[in-house]
Structure 1
Amino acid sequence: MRGPVLAIDQGTSGTKALVICPERGVIGSGSSPVRPRHGPRGLVETDPAELIGSVLEAGRMAVADAAEPVAAVGLANQGETVLAWDPANGRPLTGAVVWQDRRAEGICRELAAHAEEVRTLTGLPLDPYFAAPKMAWIRRQLTREGVVTTSDSWLVHQLTGAFVTDAATAGRTQLLGLHDVAWSSRALEIFGLSDERLPAVVDCAGAVGTTTAFGGETPLTGLLVDQQAALLAQNALEPGQAKCTYGTGAFLLAQTGGRASSGSSGLVSCVAWRLGGRTDYCLDGQVYTAASAVRWLTDLGVISGATDLDPVGASVPDTGGVTFVPALAGLAAPWWRSDLRGSVTGLGLDTTAGHLVRALCEGIAAQVVALADAVARDLGAPLTTLRVDGGLTGSSLLMQTQADLLQRPVEVSALPDATALGAGVVARLGLDPRLTPSRATPAWQPSAVYEPRIAPEEAAERIAGFRAAVDSLLERP
């Protein structure tokens, strides 16, 4: 079958849906916002009804926009967002605890003696960012009823009645064996989750059920966690190819093929995807706050939104000596200090909104450089270019800053909504097993290429200033 597919990206701040035709490209689109709730002690939650409501609304908008039926559905998900729910009727028993939520920090401290064992088993460091600590926290603090899973399993159950998760999403839980790609009884024991009923782990492409939510009986044939979906859409199919998505956070992934890297430089080694029973792996590094840091500046009234980054930043030639470490939800890879808070230093009476904007862009870009350097150490060779996607790639200031500090070209994807496109790729593969990933993936084409405009010495000096600010945070008791 060569009909169009509906590709849905259920993200942190909203759901995007595309209807993708193999001959005509994107022929329909829809979107629906999601607004997580922030609270004390690191609380970040979303109403599950808002999640499924956004999936239905965005998907139906896209199908209506295309004005023709779809042959299959693909779904990308947030990865580490979890909730408890009743498998008998699908009713949520808790809110959806978002990946940014930090309330499981106490559980991670309690399990610190098992950190190295957890990393060896699952490839993931012990951190409340991942699903298992949140699942354990829900079981201790909220409810022992029902099942507790990542949000994709609940969404799929709502759509089809199936109880599954894909191998890449399962790999984000800290409960999946890195090498056998199966639930780890030892990891479950460590987190006190041995008695849990867990979803079946399935390939990322293949029929898992049917849904009538978008008109007619339509198979759901593709499931993939968000960042790996973007990696696939960026055509990063060979070891060493990398992409960075600038969304709520910034996420850099580099392909390692059929080999799980040791991740010795502070990056995460995890499943990229499993297709036809074959597992590919990737290195994964995170910046917890990117667009969410922009939103923070917006909420303070410094700017009116992300579209202000370039005009406000252009009002000054540099940061004016301001250094911004945007660790507003802790520092992720390669430091893994979820307890840290952000900092803004070098303020003066002459500091303007433009200086703060430039310092924020520099802080985001400098963290991505740290991730790229870690990838280079793990792979034994530097990245030649960086392919990027996500909403913040619309900022020329941020992208030029990224190229300057990275000292490598930054190629901005010409294909918007890369995560949704990746969901479309696995939906297409699940619909037609004869296809290969390279044939199902859109041809790579940048809309813009940013070349470094500063000398390596200046880049090194600016990176050193940022890392000195990070070091001062790390040294605090």
Structure 2
Amino acid sequence: MTENVLAIDQGTSGTKAIVVCPERGVIGRAEATVRPAYGSGGSVEQDPGELLESVVSTAREAVRDSGESVGAIGLANQGETVLAWDRTTGKPLTPALGWQDRRAATVCDRLADRSQELTALTGLPLDPYFAGPKMTWLREQWTREGVVTTSDAWLLRQLTGRFVTDAATASRTQLMDLDSTSWSDTALSVFGLDNESLPEIVDCAGAIGETEILTGDLVPVTAAIVDQPAALFGHGLLAAATAKCTYGTGAFLVLNQGTDSSRSTAGLTASVAWRLGGTATYSLDGQVYTAASAVRWLVDLGLIENAADLDRLGGSVPDSGGVVFLPALAGLGAPQWQPQARGSLTGLALETTAAHVVRALVEGIAAQVAVLVESASADTGRRINSLRVDGGLTRSALLMQAQADLLQVPVEVDAAADTTALGVAALAAYGIDPRQEPGTAVPRRGPAKIYEPRIGAEAAQEQLDRFRRATEASVAHARETT
């Protein structure tokens, strides 16, 4: 790699852009906030225009901040966010339904008898988290006009004029055959989408298109990928049996499976991590729907002022005082897949304080991730010896220590604040010159901090058992009421 690259990470609550020089690292940076609208019935909507404006503004600002030109552009996207739009004009016809939107649960309920078939075909359980059910819901409830796609296809059309999506994003729709990495006629028929015009599935790095909107010069777009596997790539975890977890709006575990597309038997999802030169690298994935969004919920309640209070307040007590917080505020993802489940707060007493509740939330997030790691180990037959982590919530020492305690393995916090964007940058550089070794465009770095377990295995198991009982109660209640 001899040219700078511009990498853009379009996320749920914000968009980040960086300019990466092969010798000097990150030389330009910009961020913009985007604001999902949370409504009744599990709706989570975003303004497509705001998403596009955030991509354009951060890209331009990052290039200005660097003071240099770029030779390629890469884009990471939210994965399961969808919208309908006019293919001729590019005009959005609906809001973008965020990945947390649960309204397609009615579609999933109706198709429950096809669930096992879909999972075997696509690697994904039938759940409104994924794009396919949302696309069907939009068609049935909103509009039959235009095309309905994931947000990346719309953004790439606005930037390059091409109608494409990458293999990693396509694998999150539940409409793609996981083994062939092509659209599945069977899955499309199940969802009633067999007459839809769908974007071409392309590699995650290569000649995707060209744009002059972002820099004023005509620059090739050479990378496109979902944000979570981009973070795996950014960590440099390119070998099988390595794993990372990102703590953002949600918490997302991704385990590299190499070229093995085996489906999970422990409740995780199997997806394409990236496809390069027509060859797919696969992953096992686990999702915690509410992490930073659960912290924001505490802020909205007035219990804390900001995320920094997690450590200040939660760290002021030695434990949760018996309080167990199940932060299933948008349902449960892997491995339970219960969209109707609700969060719970148990073990309250007169002596319970706000500090105990805050600490219980931190431990609840860590417990959910620990359950995902256990599921990954059950699938692979291998114990994960350490966990690489990134995302805004890794700034909470209380959360990271709780994670190490419950996992009983070291938790390694990434030294970079831009792990996802760095992964996109490395892919964009590879897209310029596929003769180079993948991932070498980003200088390797050690962890900024390592958290070692401070409690024994027995104490960790006791905490996890209390959390499992709360989870089982929530799932049972959801089943009784649906």
Bin for the TM-score computed over the shorter chain: over 0.9
How many residue pairs are counted as aligned between the two chains?
477
Counterpart of 1:281? 282
Tell me, yes or no, if structure 1 residue 130 matches structure 2 residue 153. Answer: no
Residue number in structure 2 paired with 1:303:
304
The amino acid of 2:80's aligned partner reads E
SS of match in other structure, 1:350: coil
Residue of structure 2 in register with 1:23 after alignment: 23
SS in 2 for 1:475: helix
Q: Is the 2:290–2:328 contact (alpha carbons within 8 Å) kept by the matching residues of 1?
A: yes
2:310 maps to a residue whose letter is L
Which residue does 1:461 correspond to in 2?
Answer: 462
Cα deviation digits, residues 165-215 of structure 1 (max 9, x gap): 000000000000010000000000000000000000000001211111222
> Map of 1:23-172 to 2, 5 A cutoff?
23-172=23-172
| CA distance in structure 2 between the aligned counterparts of 1:259 and 1:444, rounded to whole angstroms | 27
1:356, CA displacement in angstroms?
1.1
The amino acid of 2:433's aligned partner reads D
Structure 1 residue runs of 4+, over 6 Å off? none
- Counterpart residue number, 2:450: 449
The CA distance in 2 between the partners of 1:262 and 1:223, in whole Å, is 24
Q: Does 1:431 align with 2:432?
A: yes
- Deviation string for 1:15-70 (max 9, x for gaps)? 00000011000000001100000111100000001000110111111111101111
Unaligned runs of 5+ in 1: none
Deviation string 1:211-250 (CA, Å, 9 cap, x unpaired) is 1122211111100101000011111111100000000000
- Aligned with 2:157: secondary structure? helix
Gaps in structure 2 of 5+ consecutive residues: none
* Deviations 1:59-93, CA, capped at 9 Å, x for gaps: 11111110111111100000000000001010000
Shift, 1:435, TM fit: 1.3
User: Partner residue of 2:329?
Assistant: 328
Q: Percent same amino acid at aligned positions? A: 59
- In structure 2, how many angstroms separate the alpha carbons of the residues matched to 1:156 and 1:202? 12
- Letter of the structure 2 residue corresponding to residue 23 of structure 1: E
Deviation at 1:441, TM superposition (A): 4.2
Quote the Cα distance in structure 2 between the aligned partners of 1:466 and 1:380.
24
Q: Structure 2: which amino acid aligns with 1:197?
A: S
Q: What residue is the counterpart of 2:417 in the other structure? A: 416
Work out whether residues 261 and 378 of structure 1, in 8 Å CA contact, stay in contact via their aligned partners in 2. Answer: no
Distance 2:120 2:315 in 1: 46
Residue 357 of structure 2 corresponds to residue 346 of structure 1: no
Residue aligned with 1:87, SS: coil
Q: TM-score, normalised on structure 2? A: 0.98
Show CA shifts across 1:407-453 (max 9, x none).
00000000112111111111111111211214234314100000000
Residues 236-271 of structure 1 show CA distances to partners (whole Å, capped at 9, x for unaligned) of 111100000000000001011001122000000111
After superposition, what is the alpha-carbon deviation per residue over 1:86-135, rounded to whole angstroms, capped at 9, x for unaligned? 01010000000000000000000000000000001100000000000000
Aligned with 1:103: secondary structure? coil
Instruction: Tell me the residue number matched to 2:186.
Output: 186
C-alpha deviations, 1:372-412, integer Å up to 9, x for none? 00111111111000000000000000000000011000000
Which residue number corresponds to residue 196 of structure 2? 196
Aligned 8 A contact 2:411 2:451 in 1: yes
Distance 1:435 1:159 in 2: 27
In 1, Cα distance between equivalents of 2:128 and 2:441: 35
2:360 equivalent in structure 1: 359
CA contact (8 A) 1:235 1:444 kept: no
1:11 aligned residue: 11
Q: Is the 8 A contact 2:430 2:439 kept in 1?
A: no
Letter in 2 for 1:307: A
Paired residue secondary structure (1:437): coil
- Superposed, 1:204-353 pairs within 5 Å as 204-213=204-213, 214-353=215-354
RMSD: 0.8
Aligned AA for 1:165? T
Instruction: Identify which range, 353-362 or 110-119, moves more after superposition.
Output: 353-362
Normalised to the residue count of structure 1, the TM-score between the two structures is: 0.99
